[in-house]
Chain A
Amino acid sequence: MAPVLTQISSIPRVSNASSGWSKTLERLGWTLGSLLAFVALWHVTAIVLQNKYLPTPVAVFDVLLREAASGDLWHHIGATLARVAVAFVVSMFIGSAIGLALGTFRRADRFFDTWLILFLNLPALVTITLCYIWFGLSEAAAVTAVALNKIPNVAVNMREGARSLSRDLAEMAAVYKFGWWKTLRHVTLPQLAPFFAGSARSGLALVWKIVLVVEAFGRSSGVGYRLNIAFQEFDVTTILAYALGFIIIVQIIEFTILQPLQARVNAWRR
């Protein structure tokens, strides 16, 4: 039932500002080359097998263009992205708050650690079905289900961040009378930034996969919904076309928003 979206995970990290254009080009060349090789392999396999359940990349691309031209693609991807955005923001916010509290207060951590493990190991499918049963097939239930799946991850990450806060720097801030706002902005948040960025990137990857499942279950729009329809019709070409469209959008977000953000946050590193 759950659509499996393979993510292109071999994107090199942009961390060093001093890496020149030639390196960027070289990296781009490798990415392009490996992509082309993948598409070629797919194409040859499809032609050799001649099976209607394995369309050629050309056929998939055609459907993608057709869906884009009709507007269906944008409608569904837009709906999915909106859910991803809301669920992501909500889970980052609540997860960070819980994580920081647990990382700061030892007793709370001792008590709630078990709860956290419980929720970490709760299968996404269980949260989703329960949310729909308890709160009805609503938008709020869908977003809640996704957030509930992500919050424990963020909390665990941010708890680690809070635990690793430097006592040396906290003492320095106290001696130099930074006050709470300056301490938060210049001492605490920069130390948490890598943990936050880590949660954000892994979080986004998790959130949109779960959003698709939620949509397939109980929504009448979104990529997940469209994939479910295609599944019922055994329409592999449409499934692959939507998967492809979605991967492209996600990679654009990764390249234009997440990676530059991470590079900026890490500019001071040696």
Chain B
Amino acid sequence: MAALAQSSGVSDRSDGNIRIRVARKVFPAVGARVDQVVLRDVAFEVEPRSFLVMTGPSGCGKSTLLNIIAGLDRDFDGDIDLGPGRDRLTYIFQSPRLLPWRTVEENIALALPDGDPRHGKIAEMLDRVGLSPSANAYPERLSLGMQRRVALARGFILEPAILLMDEPFVSLDDPTAHSLRQLLMDLWRQHPTTVIFVTHDRAEAVQLGTRILRLAPGQASVIQDVRVELSPAERADKSAVAAEQARIFQPA
């Protein structure tokens, strides 16, 4: 009871920031291997409507951190305060995680509660992500790029306050990944929301993020926290992105 009162008191702060603090996250020993510390002393805040990109080498605990933020993994030391948007969180996973036995349209509709007025907006959303012709197709008959568009549509139809994304454009060819990034930026501008985006692709991080958090390999902790100084126009410009990338990721 006391804990409950305290946490609701904390989230009544006026800034609405998301506060993340993970003191320690351990994967328990399996077989001959010993306990593995994946995250140690990771703490940061995220301002509302900012686009935070977490980047770092594979296996540094980025996805684990996202799962903790999403509430899927509760076995850690620390605390997560998602602020006023805690009930409107969505998560776009690394694989699209669509229901293969439901059509594209049904997959999106299922994210909404029954009788929600936003059911009327599904057609418009399908149009925006370029999936109108495939509305009645089953996901496995679509390309990976198309499936990821469905996942984006499903995430955005909820008009989330917090959007978590775990390398949602990985293993796509360049043009497809590029057009999906473009689509994400359009959707985000039309519906500004707090995004926490995980990637190991530095160019992608610079192109999308308003802020970049670099995690160290091994027991991940934050090693760099920088703002990305690019205008929307510059983000479409490869050389501007490359220059900013060089500035941010200069060798220590």
Enumerate chain A interface residues (CB-CB to B < 8 A): 168-169, 171-172, 174-178, 182, 186-187, 190, 193, 267-270
Contacts and interface: CB of A to CB of B under 8 A. Distances in A.
Contacts of A171: 67, 72, 93, 97
A268 B111 contact: no
A268 B138 contact: yes
A175 B138 contact: no
Contacts of B93: 168, 171-172
17 contacts: A169-B99, A171-B93, A171-B97, A175-B72, A176-B90, A176-B110, A176-B111, A176-B158, A186-B99, A186-B102, A186-B110, A190-B102, A193-B101, A267-B138, A268-B101, A268-B138, A270-B138
Nearest to A171: B72
Nearest to B97: A172
Contacts of B101: 190, 193, 268
Given A168-B97, A186-B102, A268-B101, A175 B89 contact: yes
Given A175-B70, A178-B110, 7 more contacts: A168-B97, A171-B97, A174-B72, A175-B90, A186-B99, A186-B110, A270-B140
Nearest to B87: A177
B141 A270 contact: yes
Contacts of A186: 99, 102, 110
B72 A269 contact: no
B99 A190 contact: yes
B89 A187 contact: no
Contacts of B70: 175
A178 B109 CA distance: 11
A190 B99 CA distance: 9
A169 B111 CA distance: 13
Contacts of A178: 110
Nearest to B154: A176
A182 B110 contact: yes
Interface in B50-82: 67, 70, 72
Contacts of B99: 169, 186-187, 190
B245 interface: no
Question: Of residues A174, A178, A268, which shows the largest number of chain B Cβ atoms within 10 Å of its Cβ?
Answer: A268
- Top 10 A-B pairs, shortest CB-CB distance: A268-B138, A190-B101, A172-B97, A268-B101, A175-B91, A176-B111, A270-B140, A171-B72, A168-B97, A268-B100
Contacts of A269: 100, 140
A115 to B, nearest CB: 29
Contacts of A172: 91, 93, 97
Question: Of residues B70, B91, B97, B140, which shows the largest number of chain A Cβ atoms within 10 Å of its Cβ?
Answer: B97
Contacts of B113: 177
B95 interface: yes
B114 to A, nearest CB: 8
Contacts of B95: 168
A267 B101 CA distance: 8
Nearest to B100: A268
